[in-house]
Structure 1
Amino acid sequence: MNAKERQRSILEWVHEQEHVEVENIAQRFGVTTQTIRRDINKMCELGLLRRRYGGVSLPVSATTASMKDRQVRHLLTKKRMAMCIAADIPEGVTVSLGVGSTVELVAQALAHHKSLRVLTNNFSVTSALSGNSGIEVIVSGGQYRHNHHDVVGPEVTSFFSSFTTDFGIISTGRMDHKIGLMDYDIREAEVSRAIITNTRARLLVADHSKWTPNSYCKVASFRYVDRFYTDVMPDQQRTGLPDSVEIIECGSLP
């Protein structure tokens, strides 16, 4: 990868994450921090990025627009995937729901079920289900993350390990057909692994944009996934998955 390609990838990553540490960028691209700082200097001079808190962020003028764009960009697709999953969850079962905005949409789609027991560390999930008294919600303790509205840490992994649920539903930061599921935060990876280990049916929900090996925290290989809900499945990735994975293509809303 040459410097221009690397800088373009850095810019795309910052647009997704809002703020990225220099050390993480260097680790991701396998170069020195000095090389990354030279890349950042060039992009800051062009007004594409700004240095902030030991890393790099979007310019102030672009931050709000970027957040709104990211929220809207795949929202319809994610809602469709969430409804696909909800339609496959029967009444009266137990469900583990993990971290992420996509999992929150799954909870919103499940809110019309008459009877469920839900285990979660995600307070956006509890909020989505709060209006239905027929759904029992059990919430983990742990370290609260203000920006994510959830809790993480050993209390969460212990919590999910104390139960065996019928369905465990997770999302993921990135996917690679050889490595499997990956995340940017080791604490999120640990939550997903705990759910995968302690459920009978393991359901993954992730759209096609996740097919890029950019994260460095491994969650699990695809052999630990029973059903994979996505919008569209590229042929190259389809052939790389184990035959045991049931792929459900949900498409996108009109």
Structure 2
Amino acid sequence: MNPNPRQLKLLQHVHERHSSTVDELASRLGVTVQTVRRDVQRLSESGLLARFHGGVRLLNSTIENIAHHQRENLHAEGKRRIAQSVARAVPNDCSLLINIGTTTEAIAKALMHHTGLRVITNNINVAAILSRNQNCEVIVAGGVVRPRDHGIVGEATVDFIRQFKVDIALIGISGVEADGSLRDYDYREVKVSQAIISHAREVWLAADVSKFNRPAMVRVAHLGDVDRLFTDDAPPAPFPDLLAHAQVHCSVAADPAL
């Protein structure tokens, strides 16, 4: 399904809290309980949420992410703020490695006015966006293209990335667990992300607040491997302590309306 704006707000609310009651959602969205129940029914039938008596929760699948077009819409405003924050920090005339993800695609859009960038990416969507910036050189990794999100993965991709050493790796992630591990779903994508992290002088992680305490199957790295974190709200406990211990600089692109 293609969620409508109300359903996207419902999804965002549940993703932020991991679960919610029908009554709470009705109050939050300013609609009737019956409307929420219809939305929850459709979203659960589409595999986006799991229902329980009187409420709804995240599926919490550790093996499969939700569809790319759905991830584009989830937390879109937060991702936009994160992208703007990252773009302000990226200097002109530097080299970047950018991995797969809708947050990194938002960052690519925010870099459209930079000059002198050399970008290596395994994300065809990032390449398509930044190729419109005539002051930016884009290098696309070779490998197997995943139809669902145009990410490029596989051993050939890892070998390609290993040729480079860049100034900054800009990475997105599917989940950050309470032990500080960065996690994703596809082991082939993880191998590429690990190569990207290993071949950058600095690693910048861009993750909206819903990614904290979100499980996924494959370990990519640890917060200790990250130099800077860009997010859209204050991370929940225990992450402030983990970030302080790992000496990760955290930039929160908070909603100015709050």
Give the TM-score taking structure 1 as reference length: 0.72
Give 3-state SS (helix, strand or coil) of 1:118's partner: strand
1:236 to 238, 246, 250: 238
Matched letter for residue 98 of structure 1: N
Give the deviation of 1:185 after TM superposition: 1.1
CA offsets, 1:212-239, max 9 Å, x none? 2421100001110000001112243111
Instruction: After superposition, give the CA deviation of every residue in 1:103-136 in whole Å (9 maximum; x if it has no partner).
Output: 1111111111021000001110111112212100
Find the residue that maps to 2:126 and give its secondary structure: helix
Write the letter of the residue equivalent to 1:237.
F
Q: Does structure 2 conserve the Cα–Cα contact (< 8 Å) formed by 1:94 and 1:118? A: yes
Map of 2:147 onto structure 1: 146
Runs of 5+ in structure 2 lacking a partner? 1-10, 16-40, 50-66
Determine if contact 1:80/1:250 at 8 Å carries over to the other structure.
yes
Residues 58 and 216 of structure 1, relative CA distance in 2, 3 Å threshold: closer
Q: State the distance in 1 between where 2:153 and 2:188 align.
A: 6
Distance 1:228 1:58 in 2: 27
Give the aligned partner of residue 63 of structure 1. Answer: none
Q: Distance in 1 between matches of 2:155 and 2:68?
A: 30
Which whole-Å deviations, capped at 9, do the CAs of 1:145-192 have from their partners, x for residues lacking one?
Answer: 111112100111111111000000101111013141000111121121
Note the residue ranges of structure 1 that are not aligned, 5 or more in a row: 1-11, 17-45, 51-55, 60-65
Alignment-derived partner of residue 188 in structure 1: 189
What's the secondary structure of 1:77's corresponding residue? helix
Look up the SS of the partner of 2:159 in the other structure.
Answer: helix
**Alignment length (residue pairs):** 201
| TM-score, normalised relative to structure 2 | 0.71
Would you tell me which structure has more helix in proportion to its own residues? Answer: 1
Q: Hey, what's the Cα distance between the residues in 1 that align with 2:193 and 2:202?
A: 13
Aligned residue for 1:137, secondary structure, equals: strand
CA RMSD of aligned residues (A): 2.5
